Chains A and B, each alone.
Chain A
Amino acid sequence: MTRRIYTIVLTIMCLAALSLPMQAQDNGNANGAAPAADGTITLPGYNKKTYRGADGRLYVLEENQKVKRNKKGKQVVVEEEPRPTFGGVAASVDLVGFVMKAAGSWANMEVAARFNFKEKFFPLVELGIGSCDRDGKTNENNFSVTAPYYRIGMDYNINKKQNGNRFFAGARYAFTSFNYDFSNPGQYDYFYMKSVPLYLEGMHGHYQWLELVLGFETKLWSFIRLGANFRFKFRTVGDYDDLGEPWYVPGFGINGTSAYGATMNLAFDFGKTMKKQPPRNLYR
């Protein structure tokens, strides 16, 4: 008989322990824990947040659940889709480069591959071709170069909401190695009073630089996204021919110790994409 009573008591205790995550405590504030601004209550010695349901009982919030107020002021529990460790790959192409190639004398045309980790970290690789064919405004000079450039880096998504938009802060390390040409067919030698055309070809340059990036991106349709980012670039290595510096550096832009840049990316997201979850009233 005694043994049976012990068995019943132990069974009740085990059931009570198992039910704790779902129903923390009947009278929520019994241990003196004060509700936070969002209405959640953190019980001492218990690492999960709880909330008081409409029925007056405390319920445990899972990691992907948050208590919020909707537009009518009513408390709701929003449940977000868990962020996958690896969220897929995105391939993108820069639209600004092609517009600049058509409209101006120089352009950086590039594509990129980007990896999504936890919807927060986006390591990426950017490959491009820089092209320039620039004539002097008031003389016969011409500068030309066409060469590839490479960037590696990472973006961090600072948008905590899962609403389809991403706001990035990131950095890049970039480098290029290239040959450039300069010519002046009208060069005049004043000593011999005659024309001495100048053609300099195959001068070599090697540049490296860092970029700080701010950007944003939104979902256009399904897996198609459109984004833009703005970059501040500062040169770390600049080797060039003794005869003269290149006027333009592929990927960097107009030569200098620093430069600004921008891209407008049309991206195609392959893999798991985060979906916006409608708020659900989980109050019982």
Chain B
Amino acid sequence: MKKVLTLMLTALTVLGLTESCDDAGCTLYNSTNCQITFYNGSGNVTALEEYLTVSAAGTKNVILNKGQGISTFFIQLSYTNEVDTLLFEHWTTTTTVHTETDNEGNETTTEVEEETDHVVDTLFIRKKSFPHFESPDCGTAYFHDIKEADCENDIRYLDKGLLDIAYLNHPQVYYNSSDNIRLYINQ
């Protein structure tokens, strides 16, 4: 009986030592991001020439601050709202050259006038969000199923709008998703 009891206690001690070592096993991704990419009319990824600022409407959240040469960027969608509204601010410069013609018919430049317009286009992302967790030791995240993406040009400068068409490429925004929304731009 003593031998059996000794064997029992030894085995339980070994088991206790092995049970105390556990692995959290968290995913390598710490957030879910929606990727937005700019495309030109030819269907190729293109980098914007003008400065671009992207912000979340109704908040102070500036996602992209006067970025130049931007071809793609990532945003974290909201957790609870059904529709997220993104503002795309860019500046278009219009140059007006004033000339005078003298008696001999020669044309001379008298004034060059540059006018910069602050254009704000809007992107609407309609989605369904749901939380996701793996372990108490890991971070929690929200997954999104995008139902619709649509864009509107600034009504003050309809002819100067940046965004032409919003195309929903990959509706699922999970841990490792990419190229979710394609924005075709006016050229």
**Residues of chain A having any CB pair with chain B under 8 Å:** 96, 134-139, 141-143, 164-165, 182, 184, 187, 189-193, 196, 198, 200, 216-220, 226-228, 230, 242-245, 247, 254, 260, 262, 264
Indicate whether B177 reaches chain A with its CB closer than 8 angstroms.
no
Smallest CB-CB A-B distances: 7 pairs? A191-B78, A244-B133, A218-B4, A136-B136, A141-B136, A228-B8, A190-B76
Binds A, one of B39-47, B56-64, B150-158, B165-173: B56-64
Given contacts A191-B56, A216-B8, contact A137 B137 (CB under 8 A): yes
Q: Which of B7, B19, B22 has the most CB of A within 10 A?
A: B19
The answer to whether B79 and A242 have CB atoms under 8 Å apart is no
B134, B136, B139, B140: the one within 8 Å of A135 (CB): B136
Q: What A residues does B8 contact at CB under 8 A?
A: 216, 226-228, 264
- Nearest-neighbor residue (CB-CB) of B25 within chain A: A256
Given A191-B78, A228-B11, 19 other A-B residues pairs in contact with their CB atoms under 8 A: A139-B137, A139-B139, A182-B140, A189-B78, A190-B31, A191-B56, A191-B76, A192-B61, A192-B81, A196-B80, A216-B4, A216-B8, A218-B1, A228-B12, A243-B130, A243-B131, A247-B136, A260-B19, A262-B15
The answer to whether B131 and A96 have CB atoms under 8 Å apart is no
Shortest beta-carbon distance from A220 to chain B in Å = 8
The count of chain B contact residues (Cβ–Cβ below 8 Å) is 37
Shortest beta-carbon distance from B143 to chain A in Å = 9
Q: What A residues does B7 contact at CB under 8 A?
A: 216
Indicate whether B164 reaches chain A with its CB closer than 8 angstroms.
no
- Nearest-neighbor residue (CB-CB) of A96 within chain B: B12
Given contacts A191-B79, A254-B22, contact A165 B136 (CB under 8 A): no
Q: What A residues does B99 contact at CB under 8 A?
A: none
- Nearest-neighbor residue (CB-CB) of B31 within chain A: A190
Given contacts A190-B76, A218-B4, contact A134 B136 (CB under 8 A): yes
- Nearest-neighbor residue (CB-CB) of B58 within chain A: A192
B1, B59, B139: the one within 8 Å of A191 (CB): B59
